[in-house]
Amino acid sequence: MKTDYYSLDENHIDPAVIEKAGEVIRRGGLVAFPTETVYGLGGDALNHTASGRIYAAKGRPSDNPLIVHIADTEALNRIAVGISPAALKLAKRFWPGPLTMIFQKADCVPKETTGGLDTVAIRMPANPIALALIRASGGYIAAPSANLSGRPSPTSGRHVMQDMDGRIDMVLDGGEAKIGLESTIVDLTEEVPTILRPGYISLAMIEETIGRTVYDPAILKDTQTGTAPKAPGMKYKHYAPKGELIIVNGEREAVVSYIREQIATAKEGSRIGVIATEETCRLYAADFVENIGSAKDEEEVARNLYRVLRDFDDRQVTLIYSEAFYGGGISVAIMNRLIKAAGHKIIEVS
């Protein structure tokens, strides 16, 4: 399949390209598009054949449900039932934006879109290209991240082309994703609203709006096996680079000296990468040192994480050490992705 590629400026969106992309989706095809979190791989959410194509293009297991992207709140009423006042408060404060909510689904949403579940995940993205595309394609776009299953999510059009060229109809490149990590997912079908995936919208921000909210135990006990995660996607190997990734946590000096020692004593022939910060990147003599941003700016670290993991893949790095990023705000989401990418390999140093 030939993949048509278009570069768009989100401040001056070419309506002809959006019209063409909308038509592709209306007739059951697939279009990758930018959002403020990561790039999405979109198909018509109400067309079960289109959802099937999404799974095939990604190589994703079909029990892993898709998020339905909408552009207005009327659309919410058409595909969700039992919308609570709490949900409406969250929608009012955080939509359009990086928050996904889980509802009971309406009959018009096919089970292929929800991975067989009676619930549906819904988000209204903030990116103007995404909103224009949703409107042009009938109002409901099912979209997981536009990466091959198991690879880090794409945060640029280049990443999408690396994974999807030849597998989908069209790619809309809108530049770099502003947030760079997937949306927060909150389940409102539970008695106590439950965060199934941490993201830019934090637990504290949600609690400020609707009161008591909890993390799914699978997020907190991330290292514990045997807990079946409620967001089915969280059980799969995710976000992972091809090389082995090891996280090192502790006081900065101890972390730096541990990683330096590993570099110095590494096996001949290994290609070593380090995920370091603005403050520490000059302290390492590895083959590939990536400055992921300032330790003081977690949003910058979040924005760069997937690009850095993909850069290591491009350079065939075999062993990666990463500093840990425990702090406030979005660091819960950063560490959630990093720990999964590392297959839970964390070394504590002191």
Binding site for ligand AMP (CB under 6 A): 64-67, 102, 114, 117, 119-121, 144-145, 182, 185, 196-197, 230-234
Name the DSSP class of 282. Answer: G
The answer to whether 122 and 101 have CB atoms below 8 angstroms apart is yes
CB of 199 to ligand AMP, least distance (A): 9
Residues numbered 257-276 forming contacts with Mg ion, rule: CB under 5 A: none
CB of 11 to ligand AMP, least distance (A): 26
Task: Enumerate the β-bridge partners of residue 194.
Answer: 187, 214
Tokens of 216: 């799914």
Can you say whether the dihedral through the CA atoms of 277, 177, 341, 299 is positive or negative? positive
- 37, 113, 119, 145: residue in contact with Mg ion (rule CB under 5 A): 145
Residue 65, binding choice from ligand AMP, Mg ion, none, Cβ under 5 to 8 Å by partner class: ligand AMP
Rank residues 183 and 331 by Cβ distance to Mg ion and give the closer one: 183
Residues making up the chain, counted from first to last:
350
Residue 55 to residue 113: CA distance in whole angstroms: 10
CB of 235 to ligand AMP, least distance (A): 8
Rank residues 130 and 210 by Cβ distance to Mg ion and give the closer one: 130
The answer to whether 113 and 90 have CB atoms below 8 angstroms apart is no
CB of 233 to Mg ion, least distance (A): 7
Residue 196, binding choice from ligand AMP, Mg ion, none, Cβ under 5 to 8 Å by partner class: ligand AMP
Residue 109, binding choice from Mg ion, ligand AMP, none, Cβ under 5 to 8 Å by partner class: none
Would you call 276 helix, strand, or coil by DSSP? strand
Residue 253 to residue 249: CA distance in whole angstroms: 11
CB of 283 to ligand AMP, least distance (A): 35
Neighbours of 350 (CB within 10 A): 8
Provide the binding-site residues for Mg ion, judged by CB under 5 A.
Answer: 145
